[in-house]
Chain A
Amino acid sequence: MKMETEIKKSNQLKPNPSPLLRVTGLKRYFDVSKPLLNRLLEGKPRMILKAVNGVDFEIAKGQTFALVGESGCGKSTVANLVVGLHAPTEGAIEFDGIDMASVTSRARMERLRRRMAMIFQDPYASLNPRWRVAAIVSEPVRAFNLLKGTKAISRRTDELLVQVGLSPADGEKYPHEFSGGQRQRISIARALASEPDFIVCDEPTSALDVSVQAQILNLMRDLQKEFDLSYLFISHDLAVVRHMANQVGVMYLGLLCETAPADVIFDNPLHPYTRLLLETIPDVEMTGRKTAPVAGEIPNPIDPPSGCAFHPRCPLANERCRRERPELKMEKESERVACHAVEENRLEG
């Protein structure tokens, strides 16, 4: 048993020669300046929001990579970039060895797109209220021309609905007839319809109650095993991430500040921000403990602090942190951390 877990661990640590998804130097800037005339009259400068400012990670086949962080840290922008809902300002996204930017023909792009799907946060906004569930679920099948004939399509729709724990009869209903958890099941069925290898899940359970959340998370893990799916899992809930992820990346103001296998990051977090996140989560298993919340708020991403973006809230910040932005460096064998304090061994404990 122990050996098994060790083998599992060593597999996780090995750098994967050909990951399913590789993101390198990914950047996305948004121009949030006022209109030209206002800028001229009021003498205001151009304002650039660096939502994602250089992010690298890899996702191996059949694995889950989770991005965590507080609101405004750029995790949803990364999700949108990966599926192509935004074009990157800089950097490359490689899917199964193919650089997405190099694909120019529409047909080839469509073949790649079929292999990716997305599940959104709000199951009320992401389903068309005027379509029947069967039409919603079978849309990817029709859009990619995967099956011919209404009979074959409806058979596939029934199969998908059963896979996510609904009944074929539910296909005749409209989304408003379902509860939040059931709607999220419909979203999952739609995501599975094109038989993807890779699903981007943007806060899939944050709109759900805990008992329903447990149902959806269990379903997602079962489907992952069954179809060998890879997930990019975006969440602000660290407990959910611990349950789902093999690898975790923590984001702060558009940058990854720590990435490591899930066990490592939860048992031995290095970056002061990761430690803060883990300490501040209300925890049912620690009822009655004394907490010392960290002061300060998330800075405005339009005007991030100099040096390390976290330095105004960091208990370990020194002169260097204020001046110099830390690079994401390999620390130990599997953990990458962007922190001067870690590099200089200034962490206590």
Chain B
Amino acid sequence: MTEPILKVEHLRVEFNTRRGVLVAIDDISFNVMPGEVFGIVGESGAGKSLTGQAIIGLLEPPGRIGAGRIFLNGQRIDQLPYSEMRRIRGKKIGMIFQDPLTSLNPLYTIGKQLIETILTHSDMSAQQARQHAITLLDEVGIPAAEKRISHYPHQFSGGMRQRVVIALALCVNPSLIIADEPTTALDVSIQAQIITLLKRLCTDYDTAIILITHDMGVIAEISDRVAVMYAGRLIEVGNVREIVKTPQHPYAQGLMDSIPSLHHQAEQLTQIDGSMPRLTEIPTGCAFHPRCPHSFDRCRHQRPDLMETKSTRVACWLNENGN
């Protein structure tokens, strides 16, 4: 049994506001195994990006980790001082953001940015670092890497920029990459290229990826396991095949059914009425109960934890008896 590369236990993220403490992420736990693509999916406001920020230690104040523990390779990282966390970021955890334009510095050539990152986190010479940077650019599929290394970010197209960002994240062989909506800003044909690239790198470098996205299609395409989030909680975790084909949680079912199909035209799309609750007014019990077609009395009062079923782990009272 291999040890998980990342262990998140009972993580809770809070915001202090004038109206009191808002709980944005409420008691979530999951493991990420080496070399796997772990998808976190949910609609806007579900807390998926915050989960990524909490892991990498980049929560914007007033957001803070209220409770819980995060382990990377067995080392606890949620309480590390800023300077030590800085060394872990980049070296052990890489990050890919949604907008490739804002994650690159427009004033420096991409070569300078790559080489600087490599030099900070390893003891290569400047010459070796440059060579390594060119290899990386080549690896992520940038043609004529030797020449392109001295270009500025604005000289690249959106898809190429995202490749540069991926090269940056890979610089020092991190064991975990957190990719937050890496393809949302890209066109579909370019998105397909980036997805294939991520998947290949994951296998080649044996890097684990946490893929945060709202797009079930992207998740289905490359994830191994998936966690579905709703209102700051995990409501279902399991293998991608089970989550996509036979989701157990009523919200996950609604989410899957509301995606229009490419293969047949339905008269009506299944819709989940209502919308995700605001953080200030999260319902008691199961957060989904006001929108749930199957809710009963217990759902209104008592919050379900993730429970084992035959296929996935589900936080829903309907599954209490293992149905």
Interface residues of A, Cβ cutoff 8 Å to B: 70-71, 179-182, 209-215, 217-218, 221, 236-240, 242-243, 262-263, 266, 276-289, 291, 293-295, 297-298
CA distance A285 to B266 in the complex (A): 15
B270 at the interface (CB under 8 A from A): yes
Q: Given A214-B270, A277-B188, does the pair A262, B196 have CB atoms closer than 8 Å?
A: no
Identify which of B160, B216, B240, B265 gathers the most chain A CB atoms within 10 Å of its CB. B265
- Chain B: CB-nearest residue to A73: B187
CB-CB < 8 A to B244: which residues of A? 284-285, 287
B residues near A, CB below 8 A?
43-44, 157, 159-160, 187-193, 195-196, 214-218, 220-221, 240-241, 244-245, 254-256, 258-263, 265-266, 268-273, 275
Instruction: Determine how close the nearest CB of chain B comes to the CB of A97; give it in whole angstroms.
Output: 30
Residue pair A282, B265 in contact (C-beta under 8 Å):
no
Output the least CB separation between B38 and chain A (Å).
15
Nearest B residue to A267, CB-CB: B263
| Contact (Cβ within 8 A) B275 A181 | yes
- The contact of A297 among B190, B217, B240, B268, by CB within 8 Å, is B190
B181 to chain A minimum Cβ distance, whole angstroms, is 13
The answer on a CB contact under 8 Å between A291 and B262 is no
A217 and B273 in contact, given A211-B255, A236-B187 (Cβ under 8 angstroms): no
Q: Which residues of A contact B275 (CB under 8 A)?
A: 179, 181-182, 211-212
Q: How far is the CA of A211 from the CA of B157 in the complex (A)?
A: 31
Task: Knowing A238-B262, A282-B220 are in contact, say whether A209-B214 is a contact too (CB < 8 A).
Answer: yes
Output the least CB separation between A306 and chain B (Å). 20
A276 CB to nearest chain B CB (Å): 6
Name A286's closest neighbour in chain B (CB-CB): B220
CA distance A284 to B218 in the complex (A): 8
How many A-B residue pairs have C-beta atoms within 8 angstroms? Tell me.
131
What is the chain A residue whose CB lies nearest that of B143?
A295
A110 to B106, CA, bound (A): 47
A285 and B188 contact, CB distance less than 8 A: no
Q: Of residues B214, B254, B258, B272, which shows the largest number of chain A Cβ atoms within 10 Å of its Cβ?
A: B258
Contact B269 A277 (CB under 8 A): no
Known pairs A284-B216, A287-B221; A210 contacts B258 (CB<8 A): yes
Chain A, residue nearest B270 (CB): A214
CB of A210 within 8 A of CB of B214, answer: yes
Nearest Cβ on chain B to A265's Cβ, whole angstroms: 11
Closest to A263 in B: B265
State in angstroms the CA–CA spacing of A182 and B190 once bound together.
31
Complex-state Cα separation, A242 to B193, whole angstroms: 23
B272 touches A242 (CB 8 A): no
Min distance, Cβ B118 to any Cβ of chain A, angstroms:
27
CA distance A288 to B271 in the complex (A): 26
Q: Name A276's closest neighbour in chain B (CB-CB).
A: B189
User: Which B residues are CB-close (under 8 A) to A288?
Assistant: 240-241
Q: Tell me if A284 and B260 are in contact (CB < 8 A).
A: no
A291–B196 contact, CB under 8 A?
yes
Which residues on B sit within 8 Å (CB–CB) of A217? 260, 269
**Chain A residues within 8 Å of B268, by CB:** 218, 221
Query: When the two chains form their complex, are residues B254 and A211 in contact, meaning their CB atoms are under 8 A apart?
Result: yes
- With A214-B269, A243-B265 as known contacts, state yes or no: A236 contacts B260, CB within 8 Å: no
**Are A282's CB and B218's CB within 8 A?**
yes
Complex CA distance for A279 and B270, rounded to whole angstroms? 25
Are A210 and B240 CB-contacts (below 8 A) given A179-B275, A282-B195, A291-B196?
no
Please determine whether A293 and B269 come into contact, CB atoms closer than 8 angstroms.
no
Contact B255 A283 (CB under 8 A): no
Pick the contact of A213: B195, B221, B258 (CB < 8 A).
B258
Q: Give CA–CA (A12, B214) in the complex, Å.
A: 36
Closest residue to A287 on the B side, CB-wise? B220
Given that A278-B262, A281-B262 are contacting pairs, would A210 and B188 also be in contact in the complex, using a CB cutoff of 8 Å?
Answer: no
Q: From residue B273, how far is it (CB to closest CB) to chain A in Å?
A: 7
Beyond A237-B260, A289-B221, 9 additional contacts (C-beta under 8 Å) are A210-B216, A236-B187, A243-B260, A280-B192, A281-B217, A282-B218, A285-B244, A287-B241, A293-B189
Mind listing 5 A-B residue pairs with CB under 8 Å? A71-B187, A211-B272, A214-B272, A282-B221, A287-B240
Contacts of B44 in A (CB 8 A): 180, 209
Please report the C-alpha to C-alpha distance between residue A236 and residue B192 in the assembled complex, in whole angstroms: 14
Chain B hits for A237, CB < 8 A: 260
CA distance A148 to B320 in the complex (A): 61
Contact yes or no, A70 B271, CB < 8 A:
no
Which residues on the B side are within 8 Å of A181 (C-beta)? Answer: 275
**Closest A residue by C-beta to B266:** A243
Cα A288 to Cα B217 in complex, Å, equals: 11
Q: List B contacts of A218 (CB < 8 A).
A: 268-269, 271
Q: Are B261 and A239 in contact (CB under 8 A)?
A: yes
Residues of A close to B245: CB separation below 8 A: 287
Cα A291 to Cα B189 in complex, Å, equals 11
Q: With a CB–CB cut-off of 8 A, which chain B residues contact A214?
A: 258-260, 269-272
Q: How far is the CA of A278 from the CA of B220 in the complex (A)?
A: 16
